[in-house]
Chains A and B, each alone.
Chain A
Amino acid sequence: MELIGSIVTLTGSIVLFLGALGIFRMPDVYNRMQAGTKATTLGTILFLIGISLGHAECGCFGKIAILIVFVLATNPVSSNALARAAHTAGIKLTERSVKDDLKTDKEMGEAK
């Protein structure tokens, strides 16, 4: 049981590492947030599950479950708030971007 827990925890930390690498490599704030949000969510969840499996004697499955629910509920909300604030503040998308519907719609709204 402890071995399975350790493996799951290790997987979680690999996911977190890939997320950090993604934040380092991506070209603009929105793409970085993509890497950041998804990897931290799954990484943290795997990490917590690994801990609860490795220390089954503490009987903390309920608490871990609540932690996972809160991570799932709050992580996307915060990244949504950050992305929205970044776009409102006028931070540009990378030059490799294809389109920006939100910017077009905002400009059309001002033109009216």
Chain B
Amino acid sequence: MKNTKSAFIGVVILFAVWVMLTDFSPQEMIFGGATALLIVFLFHSRLSVLGDVKLNPKSLVYMVMYLFVFAWELLKSNIDVARRVISPRLPINPGIVKVKTRLKSPIGRAFLANSITLTPGTLTVEMKDEYFYIHWIDVTSDNIEGATESIVSNFEKYLEIIFG
């Protein structure tokens, strides 16, 4: 079941990329669909990581919400970094902190690490099991719990529902 689901998601992603790259003529669609099926058939053992994505209405809604949250955070992070760069005193207070994630699936953790890198003042340096080591441009919290609360929690509540 899990294999079928990951294969299905793989085909959908490949086909969507193909359709966006080409025009909408039936010939292209048939060829793209056939190629997507062939690729997924050949590499289905490597695609099992996609099986962790949950496909239910709630998770789809959260995916869309996550996109907006993410775009907003990206914008905020740029304003934040720009402000630090422009101000003459260079107001930074950097350090590497350790945070803990509740996410279990590898793909969920990968998404979380990437999201952290693109949000205000944080950069994932290293992942070890459930702990992330994060370079934080303005350290405001000293312990794992406080840092987790202010860096990870915002994304985690969405990713937990999408990926589990």
| Chain A interface residues (CB < 8 Å from chain B) | 15, 18-19, 21-22, 25-28, 30-31, 33-35, 37-39, 41-42, 62-63, 65-66, 72-73, 75-77, 79-80, 83-84, 87, 93-94, 96-103, 105
| Chain B interface residues (CB < 8 Å from chain A) | 17, 19-21, 74-75, 77-78, 81-82, 84-86, 90, 92-98, 113-115, 117-118, 121-126, 133, 135, 137, 139, 142
Question: In the complex, are the beta carbons of B21 and A18 less than 8 A apart?
Answer: no
Question: In the complex, are the beta carbons of A99 and B114 less than 8 A apart?
Answer: no
Distance of A68 from chain B, by nearest CB (Å): 11
Question: In the complex, are the beta carbons of B114 and A42 less than 8 A apart?
Answer: no
A33 to B96, CA, bound (A): 14
Known: A76-B113, A102-B125. A34 touches B135 (CB 8 A): yes
Interface-centre pick from A21, A25, A31, A75 (highest chain B CB count, 10 A): A31
Question: In the complex, are the beta carbons of B124 and A101 less than 8 A apart?
Answer: no
Q: Which residues of A contact B142 (CB under 8 A)?
A: 99
Question: In the complex, are the beta carbons of A93 and B78 less than 8 A apart?
Answer: no
Q: Which residues of A contact B125 (CB under 8 A)?
A: 30, 80, 83-84, 87, 102
For B98, give its contact among A65, A77, A101 (CB under 8 Å): A101
Question: In the complex, are the beta carbons of B19 and A62 less than 8 A apart?
Answer: yes
Question: In the complex, are the beta carbons of B96 and A37 less than 8 A apart?
Answer: no
Question: In the complex, are the beta carbons of B123 and A79 less than 8 A apart?
Answer: yes
Question: In the complex, are the beta carbons of B123 and A63 less than 8 A apart?
Answer: no
Q: Which residues of A contact B85 (CB under 8 A)?
A: 18, 21-22, 25-26, 35
Interface-centre pick from A21, A26, A63 (highest chain B CB count, 10 A): A26
Q: Which residues of B contact A37 (CB under 8 A)?
A: 117-118, 123
Distance of B66 from chain A, by nearest CB (Å): 12
Question: In the complex, are the beta carbons of B92 and A31 less than 8 A apart?
Answer: yes
A28 to B117, CA, bound (A): 17
Question: In the complex, are the beta carbons of A100 and B20 less than 8 A apart?
Answer: no
For A80, give its contact among B78, B117, B137 (CB under 8 Å): B117
For A41, give its contact among B74, B121, B126 (CB under 8 Å): B74
Q: Which residues of A contact B20 (CB under 8 A)?
A: 62-63, 65-66
Question: In the complex, are the beta carbons of B123 and A30 less than 8 A apart?
Answer: yes
Q: Which residues of A contact B78 (CB under 8 A)?
A: 15, 18, 38-39, 42
Distance of A29 from chain B, by nearest CB (Å): 10
